[in-house]
Amino acid sequence: MPHIHRPPIHWRSLGLSGEPDEAVDEAEFPEGADRAPLAVSRRQFGKLLGASIALATGQGCTGRTPEQILPYVHQPPTVTAGVPTTYATSMMLDGYATGLLVESHEGRPTKVEGNPEHPASLGAAGVFEQAHVLGLYDPDRARRPRRDGAEVGWRQVLDRLSAPRADHGAGLRLLLEPTSSPLVHALVTQARRRMPEMKVAFHAACDRGAPIEGARLAYGRLLAPQPDLRQAQVIVSLDADLLGTMPFRLRHARHFAARRRQGGRLYVVEAMMSVTGTMADNRLQRRSRDLPRLAAALALALGALPAELVTACARVAQGADGADETWARAVADDLRGRPPGTTLIIAGERQPAALHALAYALNERLGNVADMGSPLGFTAPAIPGPRDDGAQQTLAALAGDLRAGRVDTLVTIGGNPVYDAPVDLDFAALVRHVPDTLYAGLYENETARASRWFLPLSHGLESWGDGRAYDGTVSLQQPLIRPLYSSRSPSELLAALGGVRQPDGLTLLRASFPAGVDWEDALSRGFVDGTAEPPAQVHLTPAAVAQAMGALGPPAEGSTALEIGFYLSPTVHDGRFANNAWLQELPTPVGKLTWDNAALLAPRTAQQLGVSDGDRVQVTVAGRSVSAPALVIPGHAAGSVSLWLGYGRHGAERLAEGVGVSAYHLRTSAAPWFSDGQAVKIAGRHELAVTQRHWTMHGRPIALAATREVWRRDPKVAEAHRGVQPSFFGPPQRTPALRLADPSAGPQWAMAIDTSVCIGCNACMVACQAENNVLVVGKAGVLVSREMHWLRIDTYFQGTPEAPTVVHQPMLCQHCEHAPCEYVCPVNATVHSPDGLNEMVYNRCVGTRFCSNNCPYKVRRFNWFDWSERQAANQGVVRMQRNPAVTVRERGVMEKCSYCVQRIRRAEITAREQQREIARDEVVTACQQACPTGAIVFGSLNDEASRVAALRRDPRSYEVLHELGTRPRTTYLLRLDHPNPEVT
């Protein structure tokens, strides 16, 4: 047993000492071979639970019958029953690492938080990170290896992988997801040493190559742009979803918010309204293909550029209309008016490399590119750039080899190329054509079905690994639990390919870990400090940029054709999270669509096509078509139809089956993000499970917003919307209110939400769901408005449907001091606590729903059924995720936000144990902790110096529906925008 000590929070994995030895015996008797392949039974659950701890401590109980679950006979020293432990690990998404802290209850990971020290997280965790833990417990995960559909033992698999090849690997191809992992790259190199002729290809649906390739154009080598939003007073986003889908989005969001609080300005030009677009001070709706034109117009308006660049831009900007030019002039004036090095122009990954190169050139022009501390720096990319040489090939080249029959064995680890490869490659047919194919994945998905061998991959929370953050910081992925099923990690499989007969993730990782770095320290912190890539010195080559821009040429004639745009789904990403019930039920930030994708279009385009929400639209690109239901999105660019990727799955994932249509059917290698196409209305309707069907506030003062100009003129805008209305009966008298004046009364909990920096990313929603055991109701449930989210994000549009402004308003129980729900409950099931919480007593609730009727905020959620029994998504092994500190609600009772009362009480207990008061801002709610922008602040009103008390005193503070006299404890801060009056 290794030495054990307890640093304050993070700690090494339990899996450390439990050396898996199952490879020896399971070849004959695979684990669970005697059981039906169903969800994990209670028995198995107990065994896993006990075993993961017991093995970790080397004190496994033996000789017990399988009927018994294993209690702590000998308590492991690292574990106190009922007190969760937190471990540092990382999550790999699109090849980049995000540092996480994962809460574990007696060896069972339950909740993901961001690692405050990690550069990609800064303490925040987005929707994918939050939902990571549910992915671990997905009942549809693959459980054992198969060959031609029949189960096989791992020994056979490893033998097959490590078998020596006479052709030095010439007929072997390895297909991986792009990764920053030093370990994976080392293992690939090792495998190539053994089989020098083997070639590796990297493929992911979201191709992140354009910014790096743009740097090659501008600076002559592959570099990753490193924007620093803290330094940018003005940001111009050209289709760049900085806060939504780009790597480092959590960090960007944090920095964006910090800047916005001081009055930054964000311009966004895009087609589909992204999370970033909703935060724009000035947003311009343009089709994706119009972006180069607009950027060129901006370049011309900025002036003082090298002559060849001006010529090229003039060519590209030919099609610019008056509105484009007005916009370009106004933005250019704004940019020029700022001191050098305080602005940022950033292009999106969906845009061609030439546009990125132009953006870099413009940043150079504005003095934004310099050393660290400037808005834009460059480093060597964490994911090595694409190469097409002896060792590496592109997916297209791989497809060529497959087609030519030069490949006898294709090993695919991770990803789902059969599903998401460009449609023109016809990858599915090619894979079937290969004599021997091995696919390793979490699920027996489309690629698994096309491959001969299927190998289950271990989930990130149950295997060792590493990766690098976008800035290069080496991050460690340590398991929190032993693999639930008979699975292997990607590095173990690669090691087998390299000839290792008994690969073990930890040994491999330790072997590749650089000497001289404190392993224990790195593990406990989750990353290796100081491994970020150093800034690169860059020198712009304007001629190359000009040439690349020139190659884009003026807009083609006939650009009146409809544009079909493809976007990563804000909920299921590229399809990898399609079986994650939390994410499927998560309303998209714009559109509020769950359990579906849709053809998103502007009101005007919808009118032209004659469709309304739910009407089927046939979308055609280059002769291929899919039919998707229409969903009208205010602020969508006209003349463009957008589709989210990641739907229309046909693998073994049961929840994902039949949800939406696959936009990959339209996506070609030539036009991965947008292309010309057609859309026509066809017969039929499809019901869309939309959680918010009304976008306007009907003139009611619900989510307040003001421009800085208005604010400067009248800083009392919000004053009329807070405080108690004068009443004929005098001010209301109520115990908690009276206690407020008395500092000895203990904390008075309250929350303040700054809608100015709420980007509507939904991280809080998933965090709440994970923390509070909020169950999933499925599409049918959402259709009848029975979703259970305690916290929802109301998104209101103002202005015209063509060019609206947006306010996100997270809506949760307001914990009214004068709660309308309380007096109508016949059985006192919802009552007020002395510390100001509106409490829900589940045991006492009889389910009259009177409280919900009287709740003006409609934040109460009712258990219409026993969701945990009725919904497949809540059943089986996913129950291992449940937070033991929170009751799983029975059918027939009402539930709602509790201000994470379990966290409050835990803090109280800790404070009492340590004989002290609860420290200022010590209690952090789940939503607050996840929020990347720090928009949510929680604390005690009794403490004048607490952040929440300060925010309540802020002149922007207001109460929603204050006129009803409910005196909510949750207050909001008005959204302040800083639009450029010249633009609008």
Binding-site ranges for another protein (CB under 8 A): 692-700, 702, 784-786, 792, 794-796, 809, 811, 820, 823-828, 844-850, 852-854, 856-858, 860-866, 870, 890-894, 960-961, 964
- Rounded CA gap, 13 and 526, in Å? 11
- DSSP for 45-96, please give it: HHHHHHHHHHHHHT----S--TTS----SS--TT-BTTB-EEEEEEEEETTE
Number of CB atoms found within 10 A of residue 601's CB:
28
Write down the least CB distance from residue 755 to another protein, Å: 13
For helices 154-162 and 490-497, what crossing angle results, to 10°? 50
Chain centre distance of CA 200: 28
Other Cβ atoms within 10 Å of 89 Cβ, number? 27
Shortest approach of another protein to residue 895 CB, angstroms?
11
Any residues with CB less than 8 A from the CB of 422 and at least 6 apart, and which?
395, 396, 664, 667, 668, 669, 672
Q: Which is nearer to another protein, 222 or 812 (CB)?
A: 812
Residue 332 and residue 293: Cα distance in Å, rounded? 15
Q: Closest approach of Cβ 860 to another protein, in Å?
A: 7
Buried b (16+ CB within 10 A) or exposed e, 60-83: eeeeeeeeeeeebeeebebbeeee
- Beta carbons within 8 Å of 323's beta carbon, 6+ residues apart: none
The nearest distance, CB 845 to another protein, in angstroms, is: 7
Residue 646 CB coordination number (10 Å): 30
- Residue 202 or 862: the one with the smaller Cβ distance to another protein is 862
Return the number of the residue (554 or 856) whose C-beta is nearest another protein: 856
Cβ distance to another protein smaller for residue 164 or 826: 826
In the complex, least distance from residue 783 CB atom to another protein, rounded to whole angstroms: 9
Backbone angles phi, psi at 643, to 5 degrees: -125, 140
Q: Which is closer to another protein, CB of 163 or CB of 846?
A: 846
CB of 615 vs another protein, minimal distance in Å: 18
459 versus 808: smaller Cβ distance to another protein: 808
d(CA 839, CA 828): 10
CB of 594 to another protein, least distance (A): 14
Write down the least CB distance from residue 826 to another protein, Å. Answer: 4
CB of 595 to another protein, least distance (A): 16
**Tokens encoding 705:** 């917003």
Following DSSP, what letter does each residue of 211-275 receive, concatenated?
A: HHHHHHHHHSS--EEEE-GGG-SEEEEES--TTTTSTTHHHHHHHHHHHHHTT-EEEEEESS--H
What's the closest the beta carbon of residue 820 comes to another protein, in angstroms? 6
The DSSP symbol for 460 reads G
Token output for 678: 């057609």
Distance CA 51, CA 71 (A): 10
Task: Say if residues 28 and 51 touch (Cβ distance below 8 Å).
Answer: no
Minimum CB distance to another protein, residue 830 (Å): 9
- DSSP annotation of 657: B
Local structure of residue 947 (DSSP, 8 states): H
Judged by beta carbon, residue 675 or residue 868, the one nearer another protein is 868
Distance CA 195, CA 171 (A): 10
Strands (DSSP E) along 427-464, which ranges?
Answer: 436-441, 453-456
CB of 855 to another protein, least distance (A): 9
Q: What are residue 535's DSSP bridge partners?
A: 379
Q: Which is nearer to another protein, 595 or 664 (by Cβ)?
A: 595
Residue 623 token pair: 């002769």
- Of 457 and 825, nearer to another protein (C-beta) is 825
**Least distance from C-beta 821 to another protein, angstroms?**
10
Closest CA to 937 of 916, 913, 915, 953: 953
344: number of Cβ within 10 Å: 31
Q: Which is nearer to another protein, 32 or 847 (CB)?
A: 847
655 vs 816, beta carbon nearer another protein: 816
- At which residue do the structure tokens 């997801």 appear? 177
Output 64 or 858, the one with its CB closest to another protein: 858
Choose between 9 and 841: whose C-beta lies nearer to another protein. 841
Which residue number, 232 or 793, has a Cβ lying nearer to another protein? 793
For residue 239 the two structure tokens come to: 């289709």
Q: How far is CA 106 from CA 2, 51, 75, 77, 853, in A?
A: 19, 11, 10, 12, 40
Q: Which is nearer to another protein, 622 or 783 (CB)?
A: 783
Q: How many residues does the chain have?
A: 984
- Measured from the CB atom, the residue of 475 and 966 that comes closer to another protein is 966
Report the nearest approach of another protein to the CB of residue 681 (Å): 24
Q: Which is nearer to another protein, 711 or 857 (CB)?
A: 857
Q: How far apart are CA 790 and CA 769, in angstroms?
A: 8
Cα separation, 617 vs 608, in Å, equals 12
Query: Closest distance between another protein and the C-beta of residue 843, in Å?
Result: 10
Degrees to nearest 5, angle at CA 975 with 974 and 977: 140
Identity of the residue, 458 or 762, whose beta carbon is nearer to another protein in the bound complex? 762
> What single letter denotes the amino acid at residue 412?
T
Residue 506 CA from chain centroid, whole number? 27
CA 121, 122, 127, 129 torsion-angle sign: positive
> C-beta of 976: minimal distance to another protein in Å?
21
State the nearest-atom distance from the C-beta of 823 to another protein, in Å: 4
**Minimum distance of another protein from residue 746's CB (angstroms):** 25
